[in-house]
Structure 1
Amino acid sequence: MEKVIVVEGRSDKTRIAPLIAEPVTILCTNGTVSASRLEELLLPYEDLDIIILVDADKSGEQLRKLVKREFPEARHFYINRSYKEVAATPIRILLDVLISANVQVNKLVTEG
């Protein structure tokens, strides 16, 4: 099944995109979104495997709550709170998170 990964910002997208070794759509919410904006963003992908990977902060938690309500079938993956942001999470940790989400990763990627 085709996958869609939802992140908050462009820096998150540029951080995880090179790690992924399969065709995946990465969507940026660009911060906190309303229910209608979220629906607009995710509705075209509702039949796909939706993976949520957002920051471990207040706006990330708000986004998760909204997604759980509007798209209960979406799968949520978490980074450790100590890293706060997806963009600040070490590559090896992100690789582990992506692997746990059943996303094929580039094994050759190293901390840059």
Structure 2
Amino acid sequence: MNLSDKVLIVEGKTDKRRLEEVLVEPVQIICTFGTMGISKLDEIIEQLGDSQIFILSDADKEGRKIRKWFKKHLSESTHIYIDPKFGEVGRCPHDYLANLLFRHGFYVDTSLIMKGKFYREGNNFNGRYIREHTG
């Protein structure tokens, strides 16, 4: 799979910006802007193609509602859950998000994982996850 074949679906621009600060690979990030409906879902599905889809919504009522839509209508998507103590993806610490995305196969700035309190022993970087994506 090409790196650009990954799509992250988030709720808003703040979430998208936060993810872009952690990721070092080109990933299409689609915002739902906090609402979901049939026309919005159709619009998103048109953009997906054969991509691997990841849903990363906030840990609140609206986030659960959006996640439910995707579970029902896009069952092949992978759901990534944030710790409810952060509430919103855009409020998650960089090191937490880097570790979370790393565990789901994303190329992230590993310096964030190495320095952060959310680093897990046993993470094997194998030279695959590099600070700067070289293509």
- Cα RMSD (Å) of the superposition? 1.5
Higher strand share: 1
4+ aligned runs moved over 4 Å, structure 1: none
Q: TM-score, normalised by structure 2?
A: 0.77
Q: CA deviation at 1:43?
A: 2.7
- Contact 1:53/1:76 (8 A) holds in 2: yes
The equivalent residue for 1:83 is: 86
Q: Which runs of 5+ in 2 are unaligned?
A: 117-135
Q: Distance in 2 between matches of 1:92 and 1:54?
A: 18
1:8-47 matches, cutoff 5 A: 8-47=11-50
Distance 1:63 1:46 in 2: 20
Normalising to structure 1: TM-score of the pair? Answer: 0.91
* Structure that is richer in helix per residue: 1
Which deviations, in whole Å up to 9, do the C-alpha atoms of 1:4-52 show, x marking residues without a partner?
Answer: 0001000000111121111110111111110221121123314101011
Structure of higher RCO (CA pairs closer than 8 Å, 6+ residues apart): 1
Structure 1 unaligned spans of 5+? none
Greater CA drift, 16-25 or 2-11: 16-25
Who is 2:64 aligned against?
A: 61
Q: Which has the larger radius of gyration?
A: 2
TM-superposed CA distance for 1:88, in Å, is: 0.8
- Percent identity, aligned pairs only, is 38
